[in-house]
Structure 1
Amino acid sequence: MGKIKKTKNPKTAQNTQALPFNTDRGQHILKNPGVVNAIVEKSALKASDTVFEVGPGTGNLTVKMLEAAKKVVACEIDPRMISELKKRVLGTPSQNKLEVRSGDVMKMEWPYFDVCVANLPYQISSPFVFKLLLQRPLPRYAVLMFQKEFADRLIAKPGDKDYCRLSVNVQLLAKVDHLMKVKRTEFRPPPKVDSAVVRIAPKNPPPPINFQEWEGLLRLCFLRKNKKLISIFKQTNVANLIEENYRKVCSLKNKPIPKDFNVKELIESTMVESGFAERRARTMAVEEFLLLLLTFNKVDIHFC
């Protein structure tokens, strides 16, 4: 990626200097119009799009998206920022294209939107992503800015040091691409770490699996991502959980359980025969976790 040209915008500078920012709420406003323009360009908005923006702040990104999209629905928790944003578009052609919603984005009902664009506070990054991926109807994609460490986990591949349960969960439901890095110096006030912008495009239709059970399996696999799976699943506390679920399933299916039933033997035979016993979570792709879940389900082992 080429260098982003730094340009000055007196109006933007005046707006951002007039307001004290609440960093506890993740208020770090992009001050470089070159970065803002790059994000809008990479968002590839259509003239017919409704955009959902979270945390618009003083509107540096919002006003550029209003030029490209049909409508922007901006969600902001800070009344001061809402006032600044509304003042900024007052009397302009964009005024009727902007809808501002006040409140906590994680507690409100989301509107319909085609694309989501947001510079997210770190503390809501993970729950926001999963709420986005469970949104119906699914958006076309989201262009989101995160702290770099979080973005690295989203895009990590099997074997990478950042590969984790988050990587697998998100990549099950979406295609994730890294778009650009953003240095901490591009914000006012500057955060403690650099940021990155990623595009998350939900798979449509989503994979037809029980996400609660999928999550239960992954939690166990990533208890120790460098440990062999057989060692994790034969731990007494894990085996007891699996046996409890197994007995419930057998009861529902009227399937008799032998008096000498040993759940650890069932776990071991299933994993050895399927070739997963010696595998480690840190090296397994999404498709392999899906196969592991199917392998367990075939012998009535479930995780919810």
Structure 2
Amino acid sequence: MTVKLLDIAKKVVACEVDPRMVAELTKRIQGTPQYSKLSIRVGDILKSEMPYFDVCVANVPYQISSPLVFKLLLHRPFFRCAVLMFQLEFAQRLVAKPGDPLYCRLSVNTQLLSKVEHVMKVGKNNFKPPPKVESAVVRIEPYNPPPPINFQEWDGLLRICFVRKNKTLGASFRSKAVLELLSKNYKTYCALNNMMDESDEESIKDKVIKLLTDSDFVEKRSRTLDIDDFLKLLKLFNDNNIHFS
């Protein structure tokens, strides 16, 4: 794939963790016009600083799919697009809509930060040797500028909502672990903002359930909510000093 990219691109920065692949690529293009257009970075892309780039093209190792997607989406400066091949089910999660069986936190986060679309399915018989799973190519275009939200707060909310996406929000937010977290965050918020804190877990629980009930969210389930619903939910909590990071 890198050799084909060199035929059409002005410059290619290749990131590869396997030195044997680097040696093979170097051998193929050494002494050709493409050699001067290639820069190779050897190492784990998740642990390395990404170079400036306009377009990312990759056949992604399936075990790093999720962290790589978010590293790309949080990369600055913004790039134009990424065309990536993933395991089919992972690709389907990226583009899943509310109500789909594969709709999850990954779906919501990716679609909040980018336009993502399925390009094509790639059968396992296109590989030698054939893997055990099917693959798919997706195109990701990050939104520039990104939505004006605190991503840590946003992701903290989604983690709670999607632990059990089929449960009602009321049930999810009655969890002891969730109430402990929200109570701790509330105490921290009060301390940082010189506010009197007379709360305990029970009062935080009452406050949270009242907010959910009054806004008609208490019986709703995360698997059916869209991005606008989650944005409304986050604003509702934050406006009432309930925080998730």
Q: Report the TM-score, using the length of structure 1 for normalisation.
A: 0.77
- Structure 2 residue 226 is the aligned partner of structure 1 residue 285: yes
- Structure 1: runs of 5 or more not aligned: 1-60
Counterpart of 1:128 (choices 50, 65, 68) is 68
Of 199-208 and 152-161, deviating more is 199-208
Does 2:106 correspond to 1:166? yes
Question: Using the alignment, how far apart are the partners of 1:302 and 1:289 within structure 2?
Answer: 14
Equivalent in 275, 294, 299 of residue 216 of structure 2: 275
- Write the distance in 1 (CA, Å) between the matches of 2:96 and 2:73: 18
- Give the residue type in structure 2 aligned to 1:267: V
Cα distance in 2 between the residues matched to 1:81 and 1:254: 57
Q: Deviations over 1:4-56 (max 9, x none)?
A: xxxxxxxxxxxxxxxxxxxxxxxxxxxxxxxxxxxxxxxxxxxxxxxxxxxxx
Query: In 2 relative to 1, CA 122–259 (structure 1 residues): closer, same or farther, beyond 3 Å?
Result: closer
Tell me the C-alpha RMSD between the 2 structures.
1.4
TM-score, length of structure 2 as denominator length: 0.95
SS at match of 1:188: coil
- Measured after TM superposition, the shift of residue 295 of structure 1 is 0.3
Matches of 2:203 and 2:95, distance apart in 1? 40
Q: Deviations over 1:173-217 (max 9, x none)?
A: 111100001011111221110100000111111122221111111
Letter in 2 for 1:262: S
Q: How does 1:1-304 map to 2 (within 5 A)?
A: 61-258=1-198, 262-304=203-245
Q: Which amino acid aligns with 1:297?
A: N
Structure 1 counterpart of 2:110, one-letter code: V
Q: What amino acid sits opposite 2:123 in the alignment?
A: K
Identity percentage of aligned residues: 60
Per-residue CA distance 1:238-268 (angstroms, 9 max, x = gap): 1122112112212222333457871111011
CA distance in 2, matches of 1:224, 1:78: 38
Mean CA deviation greater in 194-203 or 64-73? 64-73
Against the structure 1 CA distance between its residues 103 and 257, is the aligned structure 2 distance closer, same or farther, given a 3 Å change threshold?
closer
AA aligned opposite 1:157: K
Gaps of at least 5 residues in structure 2 are none
Write the distance in 1 (CA, Å) between the matches of 2:61 and 2:211: 43
- The AA in structure 1 aligned to 2:239 is K
CA distance in 2, matches of 1:254, 1:176: 43
Letter in 1 for 2:37: K
2:33 aligned counterpart, secondary structure: coil
| 3-state DSSP of counterpart to 1:142 | strand
Q: 1:77 to 1:252 in 2, by over 3 A?
A: closer
**Which is further off, 275-284 or 237-246?**
237-246
User: Highest CA radius of gyration, 1 or 2?
Assistant: 1
Distance verdict in 2 for CA 1:252–1:88, change over 3 Å: same
Aligned residues of 2:183 and 2:199 also touching (Cα < 8 A)? no
Task: Find the residue that maps to 2:178 and give its secondary structure.
Answer: helix
Any idea what SS the aligned residue of 1:254 has? coil
CA distance in 2: counterparts of 1:232 and 1:184, whole angstroms: 39
Q: Equivalent residue of 2:207, what SS?
A: helix
